[in-house]
Amino acid sequence: MLFSSVVFLFLFLPAVIFCYYIPGKKLKNTVLLIFSLFFYAYGEPKYLLVMLFSIVVNYILGLFVDKYREDRRKVTLILSLAIIINILIIGYYKYFNFLIRNINTVFKTSISIRDIVMPIGISFFTFQGLSYVIDIYRQNGKVQKNPLNVALYISFFPQLIAGPIVRYETVAEQINEREESLDDFTYGVERFILGLSKKVLIANTVGLIADEVFSASTSDLSVLLVWLGILSYTLQIYFDFSGYSDMAIGLGRMFGFKFLENFNYPYISKSITEFWRRWHISLGTWFRDYVYIPLGGNRVSKGKYFRNIFIVWFLTGLWHGASWNFIIWGLYYGCILTIEKLFLGKYLEKIWRPIQHIYTIFFIIIGWLFFRAETLTQALEYLKIMFGFTKHTFINFQAMYYLKEYKFVLILSIIATLPLYPLIKGKIEEISIGSANVMIKNYIKPIILIGIFILSISYLINSTFNPFIYFRF
């Protein structure tokens, strides 16, 4: 069930809000849990059992970690068991067939491929299950004696399917004690509508261009068309995923949960290092705190330091999907980040800022090419076309059509990657006093938000194109 679907917007969400605010405080978590389990089971009920197994295992192991924390040998064994079980869960459903295909290729064997369908959101709820056990071990949150609370943490529907990855230490106290307020609920609604508009009005529109370009025959491409396709995808994945994160954060706030930000205008970055501090923040901090730092971080020899970077980025690529494209994509960023940390970073800081931005966006776009392409062969073929290493024409009719029909959408999308909304909002709050402030807050802003919401719904009703990129992961 997509947040940007009519079923969610007009049936599921009103029902959960209504039921949540009727019962007393003790039943609110139960209401959220019931709706969260239904939300996950709506698409494919049988995979609910996989998530329930993850919940039960991590709940029991969390109790054991808390019970035996003074016994170093036992608690290490329990923690290792938690890591192994969670990796096996995600490993079987996400990577088993990938492993078999590579074994068959390398050793010329013919091991049969299994008919395995990956449960939606497995990468996210598995990482949250691990976060629960590890944070209990580190005493970054109290163990939950009530299994329903662990179930709610792992299955909570706003962040269940596509994040942000909510670490247990972030919401440990909120699960048991949180306060809802009208201001929080209003902010949640505002954030949800803005996220919905980013996903529906921008991501879906530019996504049409990207999908058509990447599904076209190589012979039908031109240099400009490939650049338009990958630029469209660069915009699509940002507005698709950040829009979904905005909706998740807004939904959480409606029920009193305060999730951390997941995006911070990443396309204004002046280096790749800065980009990864701004993009998918919850994933980056998860790997930093649960993989990079335990490996020694940067407090080791230079060789081990760069080894740690490449381990993290290999795993980051692999986390996104069972494909060599994703692994190459992860190692690609590992290489660039290593070069920046070795010597390039200090030179970047000294050059003209627009050049810093051009450098960053250029390498981001190349990275998204490997991320979007169906195969490594396709990615390399598109790369050759982009830089004129083939006999393809520079421009063709289809490229001209997209430039003519979508130029305003593309321009507005690029402008929307800039932090203009918080800037304008801050300026209005600075100059608005007295009755003017009341007018803006109580009348103008609600009217604008309602208008954006109606426009988004109109688009949803009139369009059949409503994909979500991160459902793949």
In tens, the pLDDT along 209-224 reads: 999 999 999 889 999 9
Domain boundary among 178, 208, 234: 178
Question: Is residue 376, in this structure, part of any structural domain at all?
Answer: yes
Last residue in a domain, options 387, 416, 438: 387
Cα distance between residue 374 and residue 323, in whole Å:
9
In a domain, 146, yes or no: yes
Tell me: do 11 and 147 sit in the same domain. Answer: yes
Asked if the model's pLDDT at residue 139 lies above 70, the reply is: yes
In a domain, 402, yes or no: no
Residue 67 is assigned to a structural domain of this protein: yes
Q: How far apart are the first and last CA of the chain?
A: 15
> With 0-12 CB in 10 A as exposed, 13-18 as middle and 19+ as buried, what is 17?
middle
Task: Indicate whether 198 belongs to any domain.
Answer: no
Q: Does residue 153 share a domain with residue 278?
A: no
Q: Which of 210, 235, 255, 242 lies closest to 35 in space, CA to CA?
A: 255
Residue 439 pLDDT? 66
3-state secondary structure of 388: coil
Kindly give the residue spans of alpha helices, DSSP state H, lying in 108-222: 122-137, 147-155, 157-160, 168-176, 182-197, 204-215
Residues 374 and 273 in one domain: yes
- Asked whether residue 447 is domain-assigned, the answer is no
Structure tokens at 270: 């002046």
Categorise residue 375: left if φ over 0, alpha if ψ from -120 to 50, beta otherwise: beta
d(CA 410, CA 404): 11
Q: Are 162 and 244 in contact (CB under 8 A)?
A: yes
Question: 169 in a domain, yes or no?
Answer: yes
102: left (phi over 0), alpha (psi -120 to 50) or beta: alpha
Q: Do residues 17 and 153 share a domain?
A: yes
142 and 29 share one domain: yes
Rg (CA), the chain: 23
Confidence (pLDDT) at 164? 87
Binned at pLDDT 50, 70 and 90, residue 472 comes out as low
Q: Which two tokens stand for residue 444?
A: 């103008």
Question: The tokens of 315 are what?
Answer: 């795993």
Cα 136 to Cα 55: distance, rounded to the nearest angstrom:
15
User: Does residue 170 have a pLDDT over 80?
Assistant: yes
Which residues constitute the domain of residue 347? 264-387
343 in any annotated domain? yes
User: Please, what is the average pLDDT of the chain?
Assistant: 91
Token code pair at residue 435: 């009755």
Residue 25 or residue 350, greater confidence: 350
Q: Token pair of 344, please?
A: 């390039």
pLDDT, average across residues 430-450? 72
Whether 347 shows a pLDDT value over 80: the answer reads yes
The contacts of residue 106 (CB under 8 Å, 6+ apart) are none
Q: Which of 364, 387, 410 is the last residue of a domain?
A: 387
Lowest mean pLDDT of 36-45, 196-205, 222-231, name the range.
36-45
Report whether pLDDT(249) > 90: yes
278 and 170 inside one domain: no
Q: pLDDT value at position 177?
A: 87
**Contacts with 467 (C-beta within 8 Å, 6 or more apart), sequence order:** 204, 207, 211, 240
Category of 263 on φ-ψ map: left (φ > 0), alpha (ψ -120 to 50) or beta: beta
Does residue 170 share a domain with residue 22?
A: yes
Q: Are the CB atoms for 206 and 236 separated by under 8 Å? A: yes
Q: Check whether residue 57 and residue 171 sit in a common domain.
A: yes
Determine if the pTM surpasses 0.85.
yes
Q: Answer with the residue of higher pLDDT: 447 or 430.
A: 447
Residue 304: CB partners within 8 Å, gap ≥ 6?
Answer: 295, 296
Q: Please say whether the beta carbons of 152 and 166 come within 8 A.
A: no
At residue 50, the pLDDT reads 93
Q: State whether 168 and 273 are in the same domain.
A: no
Q: What is the chain's length? A: 473
Clarify whether 280 is annotated catalytic.
no
170 and 271 both lie in a single domain: no
Averaged over 17-21, what is the pLDDT? 94
Q: What is the pLDDT of residue 25?
A: 78
Q: Which of 46-50, 106-110, 358-362 has the highest mean pLDDT?
A: 358-362
Residues 44 and 169 in one domain: yes
| Backbone CA torsion sign across 71, 73, 74, 77 | positive
SS3 of residue 296 by DSSP? coil
pLDDT at 120 over 70: yes
Choose among 42, 286, 338, 82: nearest CA to 168: 286
Mean pLDDT of 9-20: 94
pLDDT of 473 above 70: no
User: Which pLDDT band holds residue 187 (cuts at 50, 70, 90)?
Assistant: very high
Total of domains in the chain: 2
pLDDT, mean of residues 26-49? 90
